[in-house]
Structure 1
Amino acid sequence: MPVMHLLALFLVPTAAFAVCVLVSLILRWRRRREQLRAASIVEAGKLTAEFVAVSTPATLGPFGPFGSAAAVGEVVGGKEGLAADMSTASMSTVDRIGHIGHPPRRWSCCCGLCHILTGTRLIGYFDIVSIFFQFIKELSFYADHGSEHAARFAFGLVGMGMGVLVVICLFAAVRSHNRFLLLPHLIAQAVSIVTLLLAAIVVSYALMAGTRLQNYPPATSNADASDNNSASFFGVLLIICLVGAAIQIWLFAVILQCYNFLAFIAYGEAEIGDDEIETGA
């Protein structure tokens, strides 16, 4: 039973996060198709303008068959104006859709499928799901055991409240481009990584030393069954600690990359300008 309980606590938030990521990537893929379609229209308008400018006849006298420089300018300008109108209309579509093309590899995550700011938002959604399931678990435990575990329930509420504040700072950092608001999340993830790695070391030692789980009151099963249950429990716990640490390290790397991106925006704001800053979001 403890093994299944651990698996449920680990797999349910992970599955919810996987569904959120899958839906987000599908929406990003559809949006990308619209961006590329709009980009092709813009490129076609530019190529049309260049073709008209290059292919203007100039073989019949100094101004070709048009007779004067003004006539040449009128015809070429008219065609370029048409191409410019196409480009303007297409660019309005692009502005409505968003940034054209794939994000720079340096500022992308999820195998280059989304921008680092989008990945940071997804991590915030994952945190919200995790806090929600943690709250449900603590509430269920308190309802089953009553006031004898009120201190644990209060401690859990304090921890979840701090987690909510960290998530709020995360979304505020993405919204305001303030990288320092990401520091609480980075610190919390660093603590989680260290805790999971230490737990993995302790569990590994328990497996190698043959430590048994002691039930209070003692279980009615025999010693061999207790040994098997202990090995299974510690084995699953070790896998959960290692996988959880790996996920936390990856999430920490994404948040750290977002911190560097926001620092790049802050340092280049005076030279790049607001328009370039907005394209990064």
Structure 2
Amino acid sequence: MQSLIGTGVALVTPFKKDFSVDIEALQRIVNFSIDGGVEYLVVMGTTAENATLTQEEKELVINTVINVNKGRLPLVLGVGGNNTLQIVEELKTRDFSAFEAILSVSPYYNKPTQEGIYQHFKAIAEASPIPVILYNVPGRTASNMLPSTVIRLANDFKNIVAIKEAAGDMAQALKIIKDAPKDFLVISGDDMIALPIVLAGGAGVISVIGQGFPKEFSEMIRLGLNKKAAEAFKTQYFLSDCIDMIFEQGNPAGIKQIFQAMNIAENTVRLPLVSVDESLAARLNEFVKNSIK
């Protein structure tokens, strides 16, 4: 899965001020990310606010990204949830011809045991017609997919090819890198520690900040993959304050403020999320102003 090495970006769903999906802004964001040099695009991840999109809106976003991308970059589709049977049904009925892999989040709310998580992904792996990227994000799911469960899944199912590891725990990421099968990819789900994970043997990142600063962030990850740590960390330190800021009041409120400052999209989010406050907006706007040369 060489196509999943480097920087993938978890695309936002831009909204107009009336909360409708802004297709023109989405087109701009896709082109901005591609022109900036990222390696692949992730559609319908958490950053897309997919929990508050109707099924019709989801299809509109998916089809828009496919049409704008025009086969230029690999696409990954978020297909996950806490209803295993419903996910399996989608895997059996959806057309995945435009996609390289699916990204499937560990079940949230139900709080399954490790065996429950294993059986959930076993069912997904057996139903999926394309490769599967596991997604571990305990801050959202209320359960942590342990390295032992990840390694077990990676060994048992050849089409489980990677994990987006977003526990924010370097020790956990290192254990997976150390013990996983040779070709299994450990992809950072945390922008702040993406470079250290890459330098430790990780395959890259699925990023939020990467769609706001695609040129800088994707080049940083490529430098890390080439073990040019000193040069890569220059970009890490340049972006580190902004990375903190975009998550300070929730995702994707922060990155949407970046896009508004760049005149790419409105900063509108849907309830229960709210836009960043005036203080954070001012700080993000100032960062963008100072970063554009």
TM-score by length of 2: 0.25
Larger radius of gyration: 1
Structure having the higher helix fraction is: 1
Q: Normalising by the residue count of structure 1, what TM-score does the alignment of the two structures yield?
A: 0.25
